[in-house]
Amino acid sequence: MRVMAQMGMVMNLDKCIGCQTCSVTCKQAWTNRAGTEYVWFNNVETRPGQGYPRRYEDQEQWKGGWELTQRGRLQLKAGGRLKKLFGIFASPVQPELSDYYEPWTYDYSTLIEAPLGDDFPVARPKSLITGEDTKITWSANWDDNLAGTSQMGHLDPIVEKVRRESEEKIKFEFEQTFMFYLPRICEHCLNPSCMASCPSGAIYKREEDGIVLVDQDRCRGWRQCITGCPYKKIYFNHKSGKAEKCTFCYPRIEVGLPTVCAETCVGRLRYLGLFLYDADAVTEAASTPDPKDLYQAQMDVILDPSDPAVVNAAREQGIAEDWIEAAQRSPVHALAKKYRVALPLHPEYRTMPMVWYVPPLSPIVDLLREQGHDAEAPENLFGAIDSLRIPVEYLAELFTAGDTTIISEVLSKLAAMRSYMRDVSLGREGDASIPEAVGMSEEEMYEMYRLMAIAKYDERYVIPKAHAEDAHNLEEMGCSLDFDEGPGMGGSGPFGEASGGPVPVAVETFRALKNRQEGDTAASDEQLHGRVNLLNWDGNGTPSGMFPKRGADE
């Protein structure tokens, strides 16, 4: 047993309102550069829908992920090593810009510079690829909220599959349709096929936290990773000629801050924490013959951090105490393994993804409510989960390789939580038979409710800092205030103006922001009042309010 730590994420899809805040903040943080205009490390798809890039889930077309050879060995779906090398001069199945969209901007300056005339000036769309006038025909979320689904809904590969396998048709009529949002980032897989596809070996998994990164200095732009990733979450920067991907905001994770997408999520639906897993068991688990057993195989690879044997093995592997302790408190471990309500996205790709999803109960609740039923009564909900086959089958194709029993179990737990907690919230006696029906105790149900519904900041994010020996360097406060002279933004490093390492912009508000995020009450005026915004500082002297009062924050 080789115990390794993996930073993981769980998203509770019932809470996602599809506002795209995560997409926008992620883009501002990571991909607002030339060459990455079309790159969305985080995107939110409406399902049913084609996704981004279009129809990326159709692996017969895109050849992403792994498959088993006839002898049961794991092999890249796009072919073995030799075949990949021979295809290197022109990647056989790489999505083109038209499968994403042609990014554009607007010619805003005509709005203010156009000469006086009878017509209103308009800002014409300009292609960011050619610089010419363009016509906007598609984008990363063109089919948001089922837009155009009556015409294009059948293009969703999952819809195609569910239709093929059941006689019933997924209805796209307004009254009978269902929909939910699926936010997607890189899955930071345990068995990543992008990494296996990279001829240069530039993609690597960090030993400490399992984050999958592209070494920009070693990437040579062979583009095989783009084919290899079945989630199409590796993008080609067409200016630099290098592959780029979601970084799990590793600079933030290292200092114990949640990722930008999680931090800014208005629905507070994202959970971050550690998994401990057995690295030696990964390949074998990914080679499980029946795709429907892959979910269980993945669960078996994940170790119980409270098990003394696991803890000992983790210590032997040099995993620090605070990390083991964080793994024990990990919300993602609780949701995925303890309560078993979080599921991996497309386990059949055999990549062992580490971003998990709590499937949404709301499509079923909504359908019930529209039909005039009490959508929170347990018998109605349980009955609906059994009878509303189409949403359940659709979810099963996404999360369990088509196994509807697992989806039904998870949805039943969520339904039970809803029904049970309704009684409790209304001051009635909790009905112990409800949790019992889904194999849980009342205490467990309440704990799960706390984690999923109350979802306090420090319960959602349990992120141990990158390890202790250099943890003091990782404090954002530390690196800016260490100098004797007290630096400003771009202030004096050892070699004068603007030398030295980059200084994080959040520096002067870090403590106050942290307090606001973690505290139950709004940050007090006192903490924010009278502080100098360094962006507006003229560089002269040290005005009062430049530094926090000594000991005031402690």
Partner 1 sequence: MNFLLWGVLPYVVVAVLVGGTMWRYRYDKFGWTTRSSQLYESRLLRIGSPLFHFGILMVLFGHIGGLVIPKSWTEALGISEGLYHFNALFFGTLAGIATLGGLALLIYRRRTTGPVFMATTTNDKAMYAVLVSAIVLGLWTTLVAVGAGHEAHDYRETVSPWFRSLVTLQPDVDAMAAAPIQFHIHVLVAFLLFSMWPFTRLVHAFTAPLHYLFRPYIVYRSRDAALGAGARAPKRGWEPIGTRDNARRRK
Site for partner 1 in 256-315 (CB under 8 A): 282
| Under rule CB under 8 A, residue 504 binds partner 1 | yes
| Under rule CB under 8 A, residue 245 binds partner 1 | no
DSSP class of residue 461?
Answer: B
| Under rule CB under 8 A, residue 489 binds partner 1 | no
Q: What is d(CA 406, CA 418) in angstroms, rounded to the nearest whole number?
A: 19
> Which segments of 255-377 are extended strands (E)?
270-278, 302-303, 343-344, 355-358
Q: Minimum CB separation from partner 1 for residue 127, in Å?
A: 7
Considering the complex, state which of residue 210 and residue 378 has its C-beta at the smaller distance from partner 1: 210
Whether residue 102 contacts residue 129, with contact meaning beta carbons closer than 8 Å, is answered with yes
Q: Minimum CB separation from partner 1 for residue 69, in Å?
A: 14
**Which residues lie below 8 Å from residue 371, measured CB to CB, with a gap of 6+?**
none
Tokens of residue 196, six digits: 């296996």
Q: Minimum CB separation from partner 1 for residue 126, in Å?
A: 5
- Say what angle helices 389-399 and 362-370 make with each other, to 10 degrees: 170
Q: Minimum CB separation from partner 1 for residue 78, in Å?
A: 13
Site for partner 1 in 427-466 (CB under 8 A): 466
List 240, 264, 408, 515, residue binding partner 1 (CB under 8 A): 240
List 21, 68, 121, 126, residue binding partner 1 (CB under 8 A): 126
| Under rule CB under 8 A, residue 524 binds partner 1 | no
Considering the complex, state which of residue 40 and residue 172 has its C-beta at the smaller distance from partner 1: 40
DSSP class of residue 95?
Answer: P
Site for partner 1 in 148-207 (CB under 8 A): 191-192, 195-196, 198-201, 203-207
List 25, 94, 264, 515, residue binding partner 1 (CB under 8 A): 94
Closest CA to 39 of 29, 47, 48, 390: 29
DSSP-derived 3-state class of residue 126: strand
Amino acid at position 389, single letter: R
Considering the complex, state which of residue 91 and residue 298 has its C-beta at the smaller distance from partner 1: 91
Q: In this structure, how many other beta carbons lie within 10 angstroms of the beta carbon of residue 146?
A: 18
DSSP per-residue string spanning 356-398: EEE--SHHHHHHHHHTTS-TT-HHHHHHHHHH-HHHHHHHHHH
List 17, 19, 28, 32, residue binding partner 1 (CB under 8 A): 32
| Under rule CB under 8 A, residue 318 binds partner 1 | no
Using CB under 8 A, which of the segments 93-101, 147-155, 165-173, 405-413 binds partner 1? 93-101
| Under rule CB under 8 A, residue 506 binds partner 1 | no
Q: Minimum CB separation from partner 1 for residue 147, in Å?
A: 26
Question: Binding string, 33-72, against partner 1, x = CB under 8 A?
Answer: xxx-x-----------------------------------
Closest CA to 102 of 240, 238, 241: 238
Nearest-5° Cα angle at 155, 408 to 24: 80
CA distances (Å), 541 to each of 154, 478, 485, 504, in order?
A: 65, 21, 11, 21
| Under rule CB under 8 A, residue 486 binds partner 1 | no
Q: Minimum CB separation from partner 1 for residue 148, in Å?
A: 25
* End-to-end CA, the chain: 42
Q: What is d(CA 424, CA 535) in angstroms, rounded to the nearest whole number?
A: 50
DSSP-derived 3-state class of residue 329: coil
Using CB under 8 A, which of the segments 171-179, 248-256, 390-398, 440-448 binds partner 1? 248-256
List 83, 150, 221, 321, residue binding partner 1 (CB under 8 A): 221
| Under rule CB under 8 A, residue 493 binds partner 1 | no
How many residues interact with partner 1 (rule CB under 8 A)? 72
Q: Minimum CB separation from partner 1 for residue 196, in Å?
A: 4
Considering the complex, state which of residue 405 and residue 473 has its C-beta at the smaller distance from partner 1: 473
